[in-house]
A and B are shown apart, each in its own frame.
Chain A
Amino acid sequence: MGVRGLVPFCPWDWCLLLATLQCCGASSELNRSTDSSAQRELNVRFAAASSQPAEAISVFTLDYDYVQIPYEVTLWILLASLAKIGFHLNRRLPRLMPESCLLILVGALVGAVIFGTDHKSPPVMDSSIYFLYLLPPIVLESGYFMPTRPFFENLGSILWWAGLGALLNAFGIGLSLYLVCQVPAFGLGDVNLLQNLLFGSLMSAVDPVAVLAVFEEARVNEQLHMMIFGEALLNDGISVVLYNILIAFTKMHKFEGIEPVDILAGCARFIIVGCGGVFFGVIFGFISAFITRFTQNISAIEPLIVFMFSYLSYLVAETLYLSGILAITACAVTMKKYVEENVSQTSYTTIKYFMKMLSSVSETLIFIFMGVSTIGKNHEWNWAFICFTLVFCQIWRAISVFVLFYVSNRFRTFPFSVKDQCVIFYSGVRGAGSFSLAFLLPLSLFPRKKLFVTATLVVIYFTVFIQGITVGPLVRYLDVRKTNKKESINEELHARLMDHLKAGVEDVCGQWSHYQVRDKFKKFDHKYLRKVLIRKNLPKSSLVSLYKKLEMKQAIEMVESGVLSSTAFSTPHQAQRTKETKRLSPEDVESMRDILTRNMYQVRQRTLSYNKYNLQPQTSEKQAKEILIRRRNTFRESMKKGHSLPWGKPAGTKNIRYLSFPYSSPLPAGRDMKVAEFTDHDGSDSEPPPIMFSTHSPKESIQERRWAPEVIPMRSLHRAGTPPHFGYRRNASREEHLGRGGRAILRPKPLFHAVDEEFESEEESEEEAPAFGSLLSSELRPGRDCNLSHSPLLQRK
């Protein structure tokens, strides 16, 4: 369906793909010919010009065998990349199905070509290659991009669910399949209990990344998001550990019986392997963070340090038979925070992109293998086994979800609703992990490996295609938020106010138990860890300081060019009353809503958007760009001195004033007054407006109070592009630093700090005075809140 759907949408790309495919096919044809004795013939044909005998050095030879593996792997990856490009050129397709569907389809296509041409695929996938090269990048990526704070906030539930859930699934599926195997009619008598358990353990490796993309779009609540993310993160590790232990048991079982002691040892091993892995990961994370402290002069090495140390943690853990997956995850989580502050901006970008790239290459390869092994002869179809596997996978997932969440809900402040649990149940998509584990089963121990592989493939195809495609509509169906569009402005405003209010009250209440732990850690972090791990002087090139710098410059320019006065507000205002003249047009409501949603949306910082296959442009990057754009606009504006419109489009002019204020008296005096105020508005003129009340009549004084805040540089700027979300955030992430940086201009204290810093380093001392002027005037801003909130009282007097 996917293939047929693709064709009309992007014929171009499809042509490209086909061309590549044909290359692939052709190359395999060629390969076949080289295998045969025809090779000599070819050589002769090419060498004919030199009229030399075949034994001598030929001018042109073909040695496909030499390059076969990297050549074909490259072609596969290219093919998959082209397919992805095509996939994303189309707008509707990504919404329709997860990207892993596409990868599987491409894999199946390659598999079909290989099968059709009788080509022998290169043996890329074996146990050591998978565990040493393909798996680490995938795990590293998801560990590194994990949103730390929400993860730790939900740590208990995540561990409970991901850990116990995987175990429950593994044993549940294994044991119930074992029971099925006892029925003689199915012909599965030779599949013993251990093999079934092993199959169960590999079936429990859930890969719900596809679901995360859907969640991202549907904006599900943070906890649900984190549950699925945590599961994706930890599940692999847990099922791999279980898998390895069971493999060891199976090997042992071949030679001797298994004693109860061994089982106990296995359980202990399970714990040691997990904890040991995490321990090594944390150690290596700290080491690499410490080393990046000294790389300021050779920043090209920084990404290397990050990658090599995380890989080293994996390898060390594996050497000691600990869980490398958990080690590399822990390493990534630990170092991320410090590394990001240490490394330069470019290295930071490199690390991010390189990590995404590596993991997507790994995953693409695994999926292609899956496709390749789907189409082929190595299958054993047993209706009973496959159907029961499929059924048990669903049943046990349902059981584990509802039981485990029933228990954990009793301890949660915010329990998961039945809807949430349904979504979690439905998101049990199996992926690359399960397949690889099944594919890597040693044939010597598992005579019916083919059966296992087939069953795994069926489950993967079923979950990825059917569940992956329908989970989006399900989430949207369960969520009522679809009707958002009909909300009125009042409701929107009330809802927003309430969100902020709730957040504020929560803050006032504090967050006990957990809050204390985090507080302690933060103190420790500040006292010791940061001092040791982070450079003394924060790099000047970091985004935060760049932002500050640009802000400063902009402020200077604004004062110089006098833009400040251009957008001053000119509506006379004595509007205590409202007369209705016409109803709001839907477009107006729409644009208002737009502003509201875009600008006060983030009461809390949502989970960082996570997409396995792509990197969203980070807010920080967007903001930096935004500043540059705004700077340019500043100049343009100072030329035009035009009145900026609230929302970009010129047509908005007539819509701005919805109410029938007495326009007729535009208060020319007010303008003059304002101009006068601006002319003598130098650095010292930051005296709080309420003082003027004594000298003016109340009405006038309010107008003046109105002018005063207009001096804020940011106010008078034209909005360029999409405004970044300067939302109210709590997460102490990099973005938040920037957010604070952005807000710093609103608050006096950090502001002056910034001024000192910036001007020490730059030789722009002559501009210092105006800058201070603008800054001081922007100080009016914090006072604005109380000024404004008193205004109705004042007006009443």
Chain B
Amino acid sequence: MGAAHSASEEVRELEGKTGFSSDQIEQLHRRFKQLSGDQPTIRKENFNNVPDLELNPIRSKIVRAFFDNRNLRKGSSGLADEINFEDFLTIMSYFRPIDTTMDEEQVQLCRKEKLRFLFHMYDSDSDGRITLEEYRNVVEELLSGNPHIEKESARSIADGAMMEAASVCVGQMEPDQVYEGITFDDFLKSRKNPNVRAQLTSTEADGRGSMLRSGSHLRGHHDLAGHRHRDQDARPLP
């Protein structure tokens, strides 16, 4: 990344853009190089080298999200062929915890950004609407880890979820009324429920949620105890 001083300048610039500390940027850069094989950009194939990712049922969605122009803030649709380090940081910055020093408005904005990222994962055709078809795809993928689940079950779940969303967002519908799909506003609406919000803050998969909620934040990357660096933990929600 050029001479030493220009590198540090560059880092500073990235710091301003993404909000990461220089320490974190350095770490991420190391990882970026590792992933790309010392190339300036990462392509989709590079993600195949992440062994742990291989088992993730929504692998393709995750990889796709890295190349999504909407997430890269480069356009309203389409996929990038390759991403450079700055783009990589941009994606990673979605997963930064909410800063305690931010005021309420910024926090809301930040949350919205994070939610938008999640929304884009569903909305694969970038039309601003999660259609039933898209929803089904996601559910099927989520359940694809278990071969015993039949496609039809996954489908019914998506259908049920869609119906629920429709009833939440539109209210009572006429028999012949059509619900086109979940828009981002609807997506936000379904979270207004404080009960629901409390739920999401403590995701139960590994209980990490509750820890994170209670005022804990990224602590940089020096780590005496040798804990894994789960440094980017997506906490898109309050």
Residues of A whose CB lies within 8 Å of any CB of B are: 153-157, 160, 219-224, 408, 410-420, 479-481, 483-484, 486-491, 493-515, 517, 567, 569, 571, 575-581, 583-584, 588-589, 592, 595-596, 599-604, 606, 644, 646-647, 655-659, 709-710, 712, 714-717, 719, 723-730, 739-740, 742-743, 745-746, 784-786, 788-789, 791-793, 795-796
Give chain A nearest CB distance to B118 CB in angstroms: 6
Alpha-carbon separation in the docked complex, A155 to B152 (Å): 44
Q: Provide the B214-227 mask, 1 if CB < 8 A to any CB of A, else 0.
A: 11101101111111
Are B147 and A742 within 8 A (Cβ)?
Answer: yes
- A501 with B160, Cβ < 8 A, contacts A644-B150, A729-B55 known: no
Given contacts A508-B35, A576-B132, contact A719 B148 (CB under 8 A): yes
Q: How distant is B41 from chain A, measured CB to nearest CB, in Å? A: 15
Residues of A within 8 A of B167 (CB): 580, 583
Chain B residues closer than 8 Å to A223, beta-carbon distance: 211
Q: Is the CB of A419 within 8 A of B234?
A: no
Known: A417-B216, A488-B190, A792-B131. A599 touches B146 (CB 8 A): yes
Chain B residue with Cβ nearest A580: B173
- B183 shortest CB reach to chain A, Å: 14
Which residue of chain B has its CB nearest to the CB of A159?
B225
Do B151 and A504 have beta carbons less than 8 Å apart?
no
**How far is the CB of B134 from the nearest CB of chain A, in Å?**
6
Establish whether residues B92 and A658, one from each chain, have CB atoms under 8 Å apart when the complex forms: no
CA distance A224 to B175 in the complex (A): 51
Cα of A412 to Cα of B203 in the assembled complex, Å: 20
Bound CA span A433–B200, Å: 41
For window 111-151 of B, CB contacts with A under 8 Å fall at 118, 121-122, 124-125, 131-134, 137-151
The distance in angstroms between the C-alpha atoms of A612 and B229, with both chains bound, is: 31
Of A497, A515, A602, A724, the residue contacting B229 (CB under 8 A) is A515
The residues of B that contact A480 with a CB separation of less than 8 Å are 198, 202, 210
B164 engages A578 (CB within 8 Å):
no
Residues of B within 8 A of A154 (CB): 225, 227
Q: Which of A412, A507, A508, A584 is within 8 Å of B223, CB to CB?
A: A412
B184 within 8 A of A: no
Q: B85 interface residue, CB < 8 Å from A?
A: no
Cα A632 to Cα B47 with chains together (Å): 40
- A-B pair number, CB within 8 angstroms: 358
Contacts known (A419-B210, A420-B211); A491 close to B142, Cβ less than 8 A: no
Residues on A with beta carbons closer than 8 Å to the beta carbon of B161: 488-490, 493, 592
Cβ of B118: which chain A residues have Cβ within 8 Å of it?
494, 497-498, 501
Closest to A157 in B: B225
Q: Is B52 an interface residue (CB 8 A)?
A: yes
Asked if A595 and B153 sit within 8 Å, CB to CB, the answer is yes
List 15 interface pairs A-B (beta carbons < 8 Å), by A numbering: A156-B227, A222-B206, A413-B228, A413-B231, A417-B215, A486-B195, A488-B190, A489-B157, A494-B200, A495-B203, A496-B142, A499-B203, A504-B58, A714-B148, A726-B147
Q: Are B205 and A791 in contact (CB under 8 A)?
A: no
Residue from B52, B57, B204 within 8 A of A219 (CB atoms): B204
Cα-based distance from A709 to B215 in the complex (angstroms):
46
Using A414-B208, A483-B199, A646-B152 as known contacts, say yes or no to A786 and B142 having CB atoms under 8 A apart. no
When C-beta atoms are compared, the residue in chain A nearest to B166 turns out to be: A580
Q: Which residues of A contact B60 (CB under 8 A)?
A: 785-786, 789
The answer to whether B205 and A499 touch across the interface, beta carbons within 8 angstroms, is yes
Among B30, B146, B224, B230, chain A packs the most CB atoms within 10 A around the CB of B146
Inter-chain contact B62/A501, CB cutoff 8 Å: yes
Mark B residues whose CB is within 8 Å of A. 27-28, 30-31, 34-35, 47, 50, 52-53, 55-62, 64-66, 92, 95, 118, 121-122, 124-125, 131-134, 137-153, 155-157, 159-168, 173, 175-180, 190-191, 195-196, 198-200, 202-208, 210-212, 214-216, 218-219, 221-234, 236-237
Chain B residues with CB below 8 A from A788, complex form: 137, 140-141
Select B55's contact among A501, A577, A581, A728, beta carbons within 8 Å. Answer: A728
Q: Which chain B positions have C-beta within 8 A of A647? A: 153
Q: How far is the CA of A479 from the CA of B214 in the complex (A)?
A: 12
A508 contacts B203, C-beta separation under 8 Å: no
Closest 6 pairs between A and B when the two form their complex, measured CB to CB: A156-B225, A221-B207, A714-B147, A411-B224, A646-B153, A504-B62
CA of A495 to CA of B55, assembled, Å: 19
Taking a contact as CB atoms closer than 8 A, the residue among B64, B95, B207, B232 that contacts A222 in the complex is B207
Which chain B residues lie closer than 8 Å to A419 at the CB level? 210, 214
Chain B's closest residue to A493 (CB) is B161
A486, A500, A592, A715: which contacts B56 (Cβ < 8 A)?
A500
Residues of B within 8 A of A717 (CB): 147-148
Which single residue of chain B is at the shortest CB-CB distance from A570? B152
**Which one of B55, B225, B232 contacts A506 once the chains associate, using CB atoms below 8 Å?**
B232
Contact in complex: B229, A513 (CB < 8 Å)? yes
A501-B118, A504-B62, A509-B31 known; A723 vs B212 contact (CB < 8 Å): no
Q: Out of A415, A600, A659, name the residue touching B163 (CB < 8 Å).
A: A659
Cβ A512 vs Cβ B132 within 8 A:
no
Cα of A785 to Cα of B199 in the assembled complex, Å? 29
| In the complex with contacts A500-B58, A599-B143, A796-B125, A513-B221 CB distance below 8 A | yes
Q: How far is B199's CA from A424's CA once the two chains are assembled, in angstroms? A: 24
**Nearest chain-B residue to A503 (Cβ)?**
B56
**Interface pair B203/A577, CB less than 8 Å apart:** no
Contact B31 A791 (CB under 8 A): no
Residues of A within 8 A of B204 (CB): 219, 481, 484, 495
Given contact pairs A411-B222, A497-B138, A578-B132, A505 touches B62 in the complex (Cβ within 8 A): yes
Distance in Å: Cβ of B104 to nearest Cβ of chain A: 22
In the complex, what distance in Å separates the CA atom of A712 from the CA atom of B148? 11
Nearest A residue to B234 via CB reads A502
With both chains docked as a complex, state the minimum distance between the C-beta of A748 and any C-beta of chain B, in angstroms: 13
Q: Would you call B230 and A657 a contact (CB within 8 A)? A: no
Task: Tell me, in angstroms, the Cα distance from A796 to B228 when the chains sit together.
Answer: 44
B39 → A minimal CB distance (Å): 16
Query: 10 new A-B pairs (CB below 8 Å) besides A491-B191, A578-B132, A714-B147?
Result: A157-B225, A221-B206, A414-B212, A488-B164, A494-B118, A578-B163, A644-B150, A725-B146, A745-B147, A793-B125
Is B214 in contact with A504, judged by CB distance below 8 angstroms? Answer: no
Contacts of A157 in B (CB 8 A): 225, 227
Bound-state CA distance A580–B134 (Å) is 18
Taking CB atoms, residues of chain A closer than 8 Å to B27 are 512
Q: Which residues of A contact B53 (CB under 8 A)?
A: 504, 507-508
Q: Cα distance A569–B30 when bound, in Å?
A: 47
B residues near A795, Cβ cutoff 8 Å: 133
In the complex the two chains form, is B151's CB within 8 Å of A569's CB? Answer: yes
B206 touches A606 (CB 8 A): yes
When distances are taken between beta carbons in the complex, the residues of chain B under 8 Å from A412 are 219, 223, 225, 227
Shortest distance between the CB of A495 and any CB in chain B (Å):
5
Q: Cβ of A571: which chain B residues have Cβ within 8 Å of it?
A: 152, 155
Most buried by A among B55, B124, B131: B55
| The one of A514, A729, A745, A784 that contacts B228, using a Cβ cutoff of 8 Å | A514
Give CA–CA (A785, B145) in the complex, Å.
12
Indicate which residue in B143, B156, B228 contacts A515 across the interface (CB closer than 8 Å).
Answer: B228
- In the complex with contacts A418-B214, A495-B203, A413-B196 CB distance below 8 A: no
Asked if B227 and A414 make an inter-chain contact with CB atoms under 8 angstroms apart, the answer reads yes
Complex Cα gap A558–B153 (Å) = 21
Bound Cα distance from A743 to B211, whole angstroms: 32
Contact B196 A491 (CB under 8 A): yes
Q: Nearest Cβ distance between residue B42 and chain A, in whole angstroms? A: 10
Tell me, in angstroms, the Cα distance from A414 to B231 when the chains sit together. Answer: 9
Cβ–Cβ < 8 Å partners of A578 in chain B:
132, 159, 162-163, 166, 178-179
CB B21 to nearest CB in A, in angstroms, measures 14
List A contacts of B226 (CB < 8 A): 153, 155-156, 513-514, 517
A392 vs B140: C-alpha distance when bound (angstroms): 56
* Smallest CB gap from A574: residue in B: B133
In whole angstroms, how far apart are the Cα atoms of A596 and B157 in the complex?
A: 9
- Measured CB to CB, the closest approach of chain B to A406, in angstroms, equals 13
A221 with B211, Cβ < 8 A, contacts A603-B206, A719-B148, A795-B133 known = yes
